[in-house]
Homo-oligomer: A and B are copies of this chain.
Amino acid sequence: MTMRYELLAQRILEGAAVRFPNKEIVTRVGEGTHRYTYADLLTRTARLGNALRELGVAQPRRVGTFAWNNYRHLEAYFAPPTIGAVTHTINIRLAADDMAYIINHAGDLALLIDPDLAPLIEAIAHRLTTVRHFIILGEPEDVTTTLPGAVSYETLLAAASPEYRPADVDEYSTMGLCYTSATTGLPKAVAYSHRAVYLHSLTSAMTDMFSLSERDRVMAVVPMFHANCWGLPYSATLVGASQMFPGARPDPRAICEMIEREGVTLSAGVPTIWIGVLDYLERSGVEYDLSSLRQVVSGGSALPLAVLQAYRDRLGVDMTHAYGMTEAAPLISVNRRRSWLDGLSEQEQLELCAKQGVVAPGIETRLVDENGEDAEWDGEQRGELWFRGPWVANEYVDDERSGETFVDGWYHSGDIASIDPDGYIQIVDRVKDMVKSGGEWISSVDLESEIMAHPDVLEAAVIAVPHPQWQERPLACVVPRSQTSAPLTKEVILEFIQPKFARWWLPDDVVFIDEIPKTSVGKFDKKVLRERFESHA
């Protein structure tokens, strides 16, 4: 028979340290750069693991991270799991109430905090019931916080043994924890097993997924506190790719500079990031050499066709659409063009790119309509996406709401989609964001995409507002670009999109606002817009 050999997160790091000891890990630190190798990463992970052990952290204790994308955060991705504990990545953009709730709910024993983020924790420190150790990710001189007993990460590491002593754990044990913000109510906790992370890393690196190789130089712009950073810190380590971390507050300039200087081949982030980069390049007029990029991955929310087109036309980069969610560790699909679709016209290819792609090997899918029947995969019929697979969650941890989402072994995603005959998913909307007009569904996302295709529109969100006769009607909330060729009016918008939709789909009104409110992970926060325009006639 085959050996019992557990699939553990630390195998990923151990393998990289053996096979790629000298490959680089590069972090932007202010205007400077920090560089070290996978061999260094293993040693420092060993030190962090031993330091945490001495603080009383061991299986199954949880360690919270509150940090930007940097090498110390990468160490914190690996160290707790190697000692049988759990890494809990905390979203730094949460409201204080949610932040206090999740730290207490997780029962974090220690928090690893970037120095400049310490004030956010100070503000809620009195409400934290389980945290015993505040560890500041820096040198002693970086510890300027008033958090009780705060210690320097580097002091802890220097005092700890460099001997690497991984714990002997079961692959089904928890090694990661991430909270997802709920449409209503408190955040919900998703736990990841060692096995899930290992299999997610292997699969997401495959040729028809991210096609990761040791030749890659990977820069995740997506925050490390967001949905496992799409698994990239693990998958890039698994294949031995060099990794670039953009550090604190990465703005478009920092992103462009790092791509150019470090020869980044693959980068990943939410659409807002890529829209911001494009906007910056146009406004600043600075010329960067971004030709090393072979793949720009966009995910987290729909990528407007216009942005895809702009990257292709102006930068010569094909963006790759990825789709997933915290509950799936997070990848469900990556949009790569199938060989039999090579003959599509340029326009058809662009439209294909805007879809969410075909599910990864290992993921099973159902498309379930409002009657609970399986919808046809004909690109027309719509249904809710259900998933199962070796890295999909089966519950929210300690949460009564689990039963609504995890039913009979299937995860109900809440995403309404169609699937075309080639297997490409196209997300239409969230179940909760669809506009119900006279008993028929209108997709807010379809409308937004077309509105955002207008050259004078920076962002647009469509929400449902109550209507006495039709129950709900769509309202478009539009952010114009700073400089527009002509004044942007309701009529201009409606005329621009009217060829694409049935008459009754068109928004009843268009309001112009300064900014679309965003959630803590950069998605449009329609909850806020709905409240603001609740009584809009």
How many chain copies? 2
Alpha-carbon separation in the docked complex, A206 to B436 (Å) = 45
- CB pair A3–B214 under 8 Å, yes or no, is no
- CB pair A389–B3 under 8 Å, yes or no, is yes
State whether the Cβ of A212 lies closer than 8 Å to any Cβ in chain B: yes
Alpha-carbon separation in the docked complex, A380 to B1 (Å) = 34
State whether the Cβ of A446 lies closer than 8 Å to any Cβ in chain B: no
- CB pair B2–A391 under 8 Å, yes or no, is yes
Shortest CB–CB separation between residue A402 and chain B, in angstroms?
11
Q: Which of A207-251 touch B at CB < 8 Å?
A: 207-208, 211-215, 238-240
Alpha-carbon separation in the docked complex, A172 to B3 (Å) = 9
- The interface centre, meaning the residue of A192, A215, A329, A409 with most chain B CB atoms within 10 A of its CB, is A215
One of B2, B207, B329 near A211 (C-beta < 8 A)? B207
State whether the Cβ of A412 lies closer than 8 Å to any Cβ in chain B: no
Residues of B within 8 A of A409 (CB): 3
Alpha-carbon separation in the docked complex, A213 to B342 (Å) = 15
What 12 new A-B contacts, CB under 8 Å, besides A2-B192, A14-B364? Answer: A2-B193, A2-B329, A2-B392, A2-B394, A4-B172, A7-B199, A7-B390, A11-B362, A199-B202, A207-B212, A208-B214, A208-B240
State whether the Cβ of A339 lies closer than 8 Å to any Cβ in chain B: yes
- CB pair A193–B394 under 8 Å, yes or no, is no
Shortest CB–CB separation between residue A393 and chain B, in angstroms?
6
Residues of B within 8 A of A395 (CB): 1
State whether the Cβ of A27 lies closer than 8 Å to any Cβ in chain B: no
Encode A183-198 as 1/0 by CB contact (under 8 A) with B: 0000000011101100
Q: Which of A1-26 touch B at CB < 8 Å?
A: 1-5, 7, 11-12, 14-15, 18-19, 22
Alpha-carbon separation in the docked complex, A22 to B423 (Å) = 12
Q: Which of A396-411 touch B at CB < 8 Å?
A: 397, 409, 411
